[in-house]
Chain A
Amino acid sequence: MERGADFAEVYVERNEFTAVTLEEDKVKSAQNGLSQGVGVRVISGAKVGYAYSDDLDEEALFRAARTAAFIAHGGGSERSFQVTRTPLPTFYRLDDHLAAVEVALKRDLVVRANKAARAYDKRIKQVMCSWADSTKQVLVANTLGRLAEDTQDLCRLSTMVVAEGKKDERRTGSFGGGGRVSFKHFDTFTPELVAREAARQAIAGLGAADAEAGQQTVVLAPGWSGILLHEAVGHGLEADFIRKGTSLFTGKLGQKVASDLVTVIDDGTMANARGSLNVDDEGNAAQFKVLIERGELKGYMYDSLNAKLMGQQTTGSGRRESFKHLPMPRMTNTYLAPGEDTPEDILRSVDKGVYCANFGGGQVDITNGNFVFEVSEAYEIKKGKLGRPLKGVTLIGVGPEALKNVSKVGNDPKPDPGMGTCGKDGQSVPVGVGLPTLRIDNMTVGGTKVGGAR
């Protein structure tokens, strides 16, 4: 502050990781990691200085502070600030921190998953299972007097399989889940359940037909398909893009951006969910936020810097991957509120279309709104019924247009099983998504077969 900055913040982190991987029927490795360090952020007007180091001694801290303050050019004085501890809610209470659970127990989960996947069908030829957990302790203190500490556990059990069919045909399947949950979670979300679902997907895809390219009606299965929402609108509502004018949702508050059936929520307070936070990475409480209500744009997601520059309040959306990164507005758990149709009625309403049962990944260009996402398990819909499996299906669209084409929303809301990681500007953070069964009309389906309407 002696250089006249407006704001300074210290972020201290210690993160312990454990991972176990299994492939070709053998536990390939068991590993442990420790990452610790400090990031110092100084803000002067709209200018941000950041320095980080994995040394925690006093000299390194002062050096980081001086470096971060390089951006401030005024005169100030060195002074101390009173900080008070912020009382925190607990959205994830665990019996034991995951770092304290014996590695042998984690190993047993991947061994069981491997066995179950191989037993599912003899056409399953490759099985890769992994366990990963981390126990992250963070402390944030700033010159506004805020002091917050949190311990954030996170884990995920995953299985990926390759099935081989006739004539060298190969299909992959993958499934996994976890969250900010106790190790006990895997008593009910068992490795067998994870493995069988991965194996089921791969086997179901054998013999899949080429998808027809062009505009079609699509029905999305509930749960993990919430990634569509995350890509199609979520990123475009992050305040940094709004402030810079680079998102197509800039200046559209209060406007109709989706069908009346669409209500989108970002909720950092869901119990034990992967994207939940007691406190964000700037020391602010996570919130329940309605982003779109019955098709109308209600709000953006703010970190404290963008909130201040835009005359708003933070929404507890300031997140960073680690002490090596600057915080920025990010999603937590993003989902679509349920509607009134049953999933069966939605399927029955489609004469010809594509049912998207499972998804790979997605990506969005927040500026022109183009998004894509890869459908890893798809079926044709004929006269209201599921038909043959389809391969190589990709959905592409422009966010608001796709949301305006939402014509039915199911009454079956479902969160994903806890396997999402979101990347932005090179930073990865855990997120949750969720969706009820959804019908979208006139969606462009990418495929290799060009139909009659050429």
Chain B
Amino acid sequence: MSATNYEALAKKIVARALKRGARQAEAFLQVGRSADVRVRDGEIEDLTQATSKGVGVRVFVTNRLGFVWTSDFDPSSLDTIIDRAIALAQMSAPNPLNGLPDQDTLGKFPDVGALYDEEVASLPPDWKINASIEMEKVIKAFDPRITAMDSVGAGESVSEVYLASSAGVHGSYQGTSVYLYASPVASENGQLQTSYWYDAKRFFEDLASPESVAKKAAERAVRLLGAKKVKSQKCPIVLDPTMAAGFIASIAGAANGDAVFKRSSFLASKLGKQIAPEHVTITDDGLRKRGLATSPFDGEGVPTRRTPLVERGVLKAFLYDAFTARKAKTKSTGNASRGYRSLPSIGVNNLVLEPGTKTPEQIIKEIPNGFYVTAMLGHGANTVTGEYSRGANGLWIENGELTRPVQEVTVAGNLNDMLMQLDAIGNDLTFHGSTGASTIRFKELTVSGE
């Protein structure tokens, strides 16, 4: 089916739902193809190719919500599920807050630039295989202590989104993504250590080289060999950019407007207040050029935008979809996130922690005794209570230098305190997926070990 046909199909579904008794209706349709390869010992380990499609149909009968989704586009099957959506709506509770986005939040989609790279869409199959084999070679040559591979691979995908709704939204966009990943295992004296590294981009020319991904993965595994527990203590903690991205994502999770409205967020009462030092600025950027999470509109057709969450340390905004915005008497921020199998719910677009001025080396150099964290285990951050406790691996810092490897400890604190203790941000902004962060330092957290 061609693009025009999918667009027409989405509109047809909406029209049918209205005819069957819906006051409002919306069809969110996704189509995609993807390919992924993993290699082992210079040969393909597995190669997966796929095509997929599906549509989610949201209907409002008066102000009751019904939702169905299917991957079966057979016309009679679609008619059946539309009827079922209406029946489900009749069973849900009436809620005056239900409905498609209000007209004043809709409008012209922003120009987000290109999201689709023809080069990625037409990559030959052996590109993935060759790139993966090259990564495997580089890793094996990096250090004799690399003894096994968990996985080494590459892949690409092309995806299309079509949205039609009775609120007058008609839109579509196409995007590509391409990625490399490697996860080697190093061993010495009976201890095994692993690490991973990857890069994912929308455009092929932006993608890191297989060699650089491989080296980074190998280096990160080897340097953990010999890791041991340390004594329990309070000390400065440095997160590398990848771990920092996870921390920033937890903060953005607490800025979810729905959690805030329900007072289920530690940030609920902090709007307009200083929650971090002045050098901390965190932005949800739906418009970032070539960003993996960039799109012209969100999961219900609201134009995307840049929303500063924390600006110079002050909590500036929460994130909303249409339903929650209505509940909180505010406006959608274009953060309705979804796939066709789910109802819209609040999510982030591209998330960016503004970089600072210090190099990562400077940040470490200023620490007489501390912990540089390069891997974490567990979910750890409770955005309701603000408690934070995660398993951590990395390198111990002594007199400003990275020294011995550390494992089997936890790093714990409270997100409120951690934000205030964030005393340094590096100039090494790194995007891993759609979240960008630099090396960051907390003045003092608790390490639990022996």
Listed in ascending order, the chain A residues whose CB lies under 8 Å from chain B are 23-24, 26-37, 46-55, 67-68, 70-71, 103-104, 107, 125-126, 162, 164, 168-172, 213-215, 241, 244-248, 324, 326, 360-365, 367-374, 391-394, 396-398, 444-451, 453-454
Contacts and interface: CB of A to CB of B under 8 A. Distances in A.
A360 B93 CA distance: 31
A451 B194 CA distance: 32
19 contacts: A24-B262, A26-B95, A29-B65, A31-B88, A50-B46, A54-B71, A213-B410, A324-B52, A363-B379, A368-B227, A370-B377, A370-B393, A372-B377, A372-B378, A372-B391, A396-B409, A444-B448, A446-B448, A447-B389
A29 B67 contact: yes
Contacts of B393: 365, 368, 370
Contacts of B77: 34
A165 to B, nearest CB: 11
B92 A29 contact: yes
Contacts of A245: 147-148, 185
A27 to B, nearest CB: 4
Contact of B412 (A31, A363, A394): A394
A55 B385 contact: no
B236 interface: no
B40 A170 contact: no
Contacts of B234: 450
A448 B44 contact: no
Contacts of A33: 68-70, 341
B184 to A, nearest CB: 9
Interface in B412-450: 412-414, 446-450
A47 B81 CA distance: 40
B130 to A, nearest CB: 15
Given A50-B48, A371-B377, A162 B384 contact: yes
B72 A396 contact: no
B385 A47 contact: no
B410 A361 contact: no
A453 B450 CA distance: 9
B269 interface: yes
A29 B45 contact: no
Question: Across chains A and B, which 4 residue pairs bring their CB atoms closest together, nearest first?
Answer: A446-B410, A213-B448, A372-B391, A367-B194
A105 to B, nearest CB: 11
A55 B410 contact: no
A54 B48 contact: no
B81 A50 contact: no
Contact of A370 (B43, B150, B391): B391
Given A26-B93, A35-B341, A450-B232, 8 more contacts: A34-B77, A54-B72, A126-B263, A248-B192, A367-B185, A367-B194, A374-B379, A374-B380
Contacts of A241: 150
Contacts of B68: 31-34
A54 B54 contact: yes
A444 B71 contact: no
Interface string B377-418: 111101011011111010000000000000111111110000
Contacts of B193: 367-368
B385 A170 contact: yes
Interface in B259-304: 262-264, 266, 269
B168 interface: no
A70 B227 contact: no
Contact of A368 (B48, B191, B446): B191
Main secondary structure of the interface of A (DSSP, over half): strand
Interface in B35-75: 40, 43-54, 65-72
A47 B43 contact: yes
Contact of B390 (A371, A372, A453): A372
Contact of A454 (B81, B233, B375, B410): B233
Given A246-B192, A447-B389, A51 B50 contact: yes
Contacts of B375: 365
Contacts of B84: 32
Contacts of A451: 232
Interface residues of B, number: 82
A2 B280 CA distance: 61
A326 B46 contact: yes
Contacts of A126: 262-264
Interface of B: 40, 43-54, 65-72, 77, 81, 84-85, 88-89, 91-93, 95, 125, 147-150, 185, 191-194, 224, 227, 229, 231-234, 262-264, 266, 269, 341, 343, 375, 377-380, 382, 384-385, 387-391, 393, 407-414, 446-450
A48 B378 contact: no
B325 to A, nearest CB: 15
B92 A55 contact: no
B391 A363 contact: yes
A446 B376 CA distance: 13
B44 A71 contact: yes
Contact of A170 (B384, B414, B450): B384
Contacts of A368: 191-194, 224, 227, 393, 407
A396 B379 contact: no
Nearest to A369: B192
A235 B150 CA distance: 14
A454 B54 contact: no
B380 A107 contact: no
Given A47-B45, A370-B408, A394-B391, A361 B378 contact: yes
B188 to A, nearest CB: 12
A391 B391 contact: no
B71 A35 contact: yes
Contacts of B385: 169-172, 391
B91 A107 contact: yes
A405 B414 CA distance: 30
A365 B194 contact: yes
Nearest to A393: B389
B119 to A, nearest CB: 21
Contacts of B379: 360-361, 363, 374
A405 to B, nearest CB: 13
Contacts of B414: 448
B91 A48 contact: no
B190 to A, nearest CB: 9
A28 B48 contact: no
A162 B44 CA distance: 49
Contacts of B380: 372, 374, 394
B389 A244 contact: no
A396 B81 contact: no
Nearest to B69: A33
A70 B48 CA distance: 10
B377 A365 contact: yes
A449 B446 contact: yes
Nearest to A52: B50
A23 B150 CA distance: 42
B415 to A, nearest CB: 11
Given A103-B88, A326-B46, A446-B391, A213 B232 contact: yes
Contacts of A37: 52, 71
Contact of B389 (A36, A51, A214, A446): A446
Instruction: From A52, A70, A373, A394, name the one whose CB has the most chain B CB atoms within 10 angstroms.
Output: A394
